[in-house]
Amino acid sequence: MTEAVLTSGADAGAATAPASSLSLARGLAALREEMDAPVASFFSSCVHCGLCATACPFFVETGDPKYTPIHKLEPMRILWEHEFTLWGKLKAKLGLGRKVTDQMLADWEPLLYDSCTMCGRCSMVCPVGNDIQYMIRKAREGQVASGHAPEGLIAASVRAVKTGSPMGLQWKTLEVQIKHVETATGLEVPIDKPGADYLVLLSSMEIINFPEYLEAITKIFAHAGVSWTLSEQCFEATNAGIQIGSKDIAATLVQRVVDAAVQLRVKNVISPECGHAYTAIRWEGPNAIQRAYPFKVFHIIEVLDQLRAEGRIKTEGKETDRLSMHDPCNLARKSGVIQQQRNLMDLVAEDFVDLKEHGKLQWCCGAGGGVSSNERAEALKMAAFKKKKQQIEEVEPDRMVTMCATCRTQLEEGLEEYTMDIPVVGLTELIADHLIEPEQPAAAAEESKL
């Protein structure tokens, strides 16, 4: 590892620590710090039934027992038993039992990062209620502190701290896209507008891969009369610190959003079509900075459904081809946003069919939790996608719809990998395509004919 992670969340411009400053001792100290009451109760109550394996696409599609979710936590469990249980302490005094070594943490790194998206499906099926993905997130703190994390995620974290974007994008890149949107639509994309109702965040993946998203929300918000703004100070919604497992980086990136929102005096912050970004800023963010926000956080789909319910979105026409939907894990399973996207689909889809397992128990696409930033995990990511492929084959859609840029990219790449000619579209763009165009004044309409 050539670069480590931010050593202090207090200074967003702080240099990253060299790899030499990371060690087994720091890794174990970080794991001890994560041993809270829930972790202790989860390890104590595990009955080793293996049901979590049946919920994990990495195990299901490879059949390899090392991908059993609870097994990925073995170093953390060993440390817990060794230092936090009476039986473990007795064994330690007698020189019995395994110890967590630097080599063990190195060996477990691929299990914690390559074969886990922290999607939480394993937690849903655990018969004793153990939140395995919660523990995975904590175990990654120990990996980072010990110097055992994927190079791809390290690089993304460094870029996020230094440039504000895990992909290294700067404002000038977004500014070019804004100009294209304004030229194409004739609408203004507001920037640094004080007192707006909503601060809109974007993800770098959307900016690069799906520029149509910004155009779609610009059209929808103009149509619905929504007061909104972008912030030049902070436009990125994703949080590399949460993905890699660094509380300091996570807090630094969350604080940037808070500072921008406070400076502009906005009432609400909108997470884009990115499941991870949503849970990072809405659920983990206040804990990361250890205080409540002075604003509310919504996913774009929640906002669109609220506008629908208020009668502020007027659509016409419907898609006539067969559409199905992939629910992002962070949005549906972790946050309970399930019916909202189906309400919106009712506006624009004539022939919509759900995947057989959807909502809270839908299968992960295989790319979240930092896996998509980890080049080493590419083959395993595609193997995990086979479960989603099987789901899609069962309902035979003409197109797939989702509301997460990472999921959308994985769906596109996975469907291409398995030679399935099924396009993927974002739900926000689909809504924008069916907006009723505002009536032009008679004079303007006559002029446009000339």
Segment 304-345, tens digit of pLDDT:
999 999 999 999 999 999 999 999 999 999 999 999 999 999
Domain boundaries, the chain: 23-146, 160-308, 309-433
Band of residue 10 on the pLDDT scale cut at 50, 70, 90: very low
Band of residue 20 on the pLDDT scale cut at 50, 70, 90: low
Q: What is the mean pLDDT of residues 179-184?
A: 97
Select the CATH number that applies to the domain covering 160-308 from these four: 1.20.1050, 1.10.8, 3.30.360, 2.40.230. Answer: 1.20.1050
β 16-18/3-6 pair status:
antiparallel
Q: What is the mean pLDDT of residues 107-126?
A: 97
User: What share of the chain in percent tops pLDDT 70?
Assistant: 93
Rounded (5°) CA angle 153-202-327: 80
Q: What is the pLDDT of residue 440?
A: 56
Class of the CATH-defined domain 309-433: alpha beta
Band of residue 356 on the pLDDT scale cut at 50, 70, 90: very high
pTM confidence score = 0.91
At 255-289, the pLDDT tens digits run 999 999 999 999 999 999 999 999 999 999 999 99
For the chain, the three-class secondary structure string (H helix, E strand, C coil) is CCEEEECCCCCCCCCEEEHHHCCHHHHHHHHHHCCCHHHHHHHHHCCCCCHHHHCCHHHHHHCCHHHCHHHHHHHHHHHHHHHHCHHHHHHHHCCCCCCCCHHHHHHHHHHHHCCCCCCCHHHHHCCCCCCHHHHHHHHHHHHHHHCCCCHHHHHHHHHHHHHCCCCCCCHHHHHHHHHHHHHHHCCCCCECCCCCCEEECECHHHHHHCCHHHHHHHHHHHHHCCCEEECCCCCECCCHHHHHCCHHHHHHHHHHHHHHHHHHCCCEEEECCCHHHHHHHHHHHHHHHCCCCCCEEEEHHHHHHHHHHCCCCCECCCEEEEEEECCCHHHHCCCCCCHHHHHHHHHHEEEECCCCCCHHHCCCCCCCCCHHHCHHHHHHHHHHHHHHHHHHHHHCCCEEEECCHHHHHHHHHHHHHCCCCCCEEEHHHHHHHCECCCCCCHHHHHHHHC
CA dihedral 344, 174, 411, 392 (to 10 degrees): 10
Q: In this structure, how many other beta carbons lie within 10 angstroms of the beta carbon of residue 350?
A: 12
Dig out the tokens for 303 from the structure. Answer: 């906002």
- Arithmetic mean of pLDDT over the chain: 93
Q: Which of 118-122, 141-145, 364-368, 436-440 has the lowest mean pLDDT?
A: 436-440
Q: What is the pLDDT of residue 449?
A: 52
Q: What is the mean pLDDT of residues 31-52?
A: 96
| Residue 445 confidence (pLDDT) above 60 | no
Radius of gyration (Cα) for the chain, nearest Å? 23
Q: What is the pLDDT of residue 5?
A: 47
Band of residue 95 on the pLDDT scale cut at 50, 70, 90: confident
| Residue 158 confidence (pLDDT) above 80 | yes
Class of the CATH-defined domain 23-146: mainly alpha
Return the bridge partners of 319, or none: 349
| Residue 439 confidence (pLDDT) above 90 | no
User: What share of the chain in percent tops pLDDT 90?
Assistant: 90
Domains 23-146 and 309-433 in one fold: no
